[in-house]
Structure 1
Amino acid sequence: MNNLTWHQTVLTQSLRSEQKSQKPCVIWFTGLSGSGKSTIANQVEQKLFQLGQHSYLLDGDNIRHGLNADLGFSAEDRVENIRRVGEVSKLFCDAGLIVLSAFISPYEADRAMVRNLMNSGEFIEVFIDTPIEECERRDPKNLYQKARAGEIKDFTGIDSPYEAPKKPEIILKTQHLTPNQAASKVIDYLMVNGNLMP
């Protein structure tokens, strides 16, 4: 590392943001498996697209097909999974994009680590607050059933912990909201926060 020097580029985040008429940020969707993270993040991205905004969605399952295909679900691998995604989110944010990152990210320390990578106000934590009973009832991928049967180890909420955010910027209780309503609440926050410029 001693022989590495940071190469300063001419174009800055502020110039890229101005070009796109938006304030870049990382919208971090966290919650249990089946809580609705990916569904809501997809709805938010569609709304941003319709508004002419520039965004990119990083989804937990999709990332594990490529960048993090070498990682499992041990505590150590979960930490590395979020570290890598945090760094990618930071790069996309530096490019002037609105980044939507949908990851269980069960550990509070890992989410804090990603927040600390960003400039002040760039990290927007969205807690998809869905009780585990509801997640199990939905169980779109039959993961809870497999975890209960012992076919999946280290499954969040069953034999691996989930540490709920203490002070997220947004809380979405999906038992009382449709995905479209939940996504609209995120868009409303971005409007008030000044991320979407006229």
Structure 2
Amino acid sequence: MKHIKEAVLPELSVHFKEEKDVYRVKLADAKRPDSIVSCKCRVHKDEKKLELYKIELNPVRHLIVDMSCLASNVDLRLALCTKKTLTALQEEEVQEIKNLISSAIFDPNVKGGLRWSLGKSKSGGQYSVVNVWHAKTETYRNSSIRFKLREADRYDFLTSTGEVTREIVMRLTQMENLLEQGNEANSVMAVLEDVLKLILNHFLAREGSLVSCSES
């Protein structure tokens, strides 16, 4: 992570954009059992409580390609995903989610950094907490690529398991634009080939490195 931040990103002319401290709370929806509602939250500094600022459906993965890199010490996953911001919720549904989010208790001693008082991880109605994670992220970008260097602390309420990871997420913004504009496959493939060469030359040869190209 340190090598990529100090050596690789400057070489690629990728510049620092912002640093974020974000909590994500994922909710099961009793009215939409096939969907997971993903809530992006931040800490309200004045009141020292969790504040909701975006509600999305969990990303839909349209394509997953796992590549075995035999000459390297890591493998590579390329994913094509879409996300949808929820805007059609009823006012009472939004308020129910906000009440559930604001009742979270900050606790650095638990996985995910959040806990709820006994019985409070459910709204009593439509929503219940199934997953939480706390991520400290540094974002770097140029005109064609965006990198997120992320330290993530996650906890799954359904399986009672957690993990702490360091991750590098590479978002192919130039390719996203080509796909949205309906460009021919040859144009998209040319960009993809360039990106894969970049990954091979700068990310796959170092001990412990891994890039996940996702969230398109």
Q: With the length of structure 2 as denominator, give the TM-score of the two structures.
A: 0.22
Q: Which has the larger radius of gyration?
A: 2
| Higher share in helix | 1
- Which structure has the higher relative contact order (CA within 8 Å, separation 6+)? 1
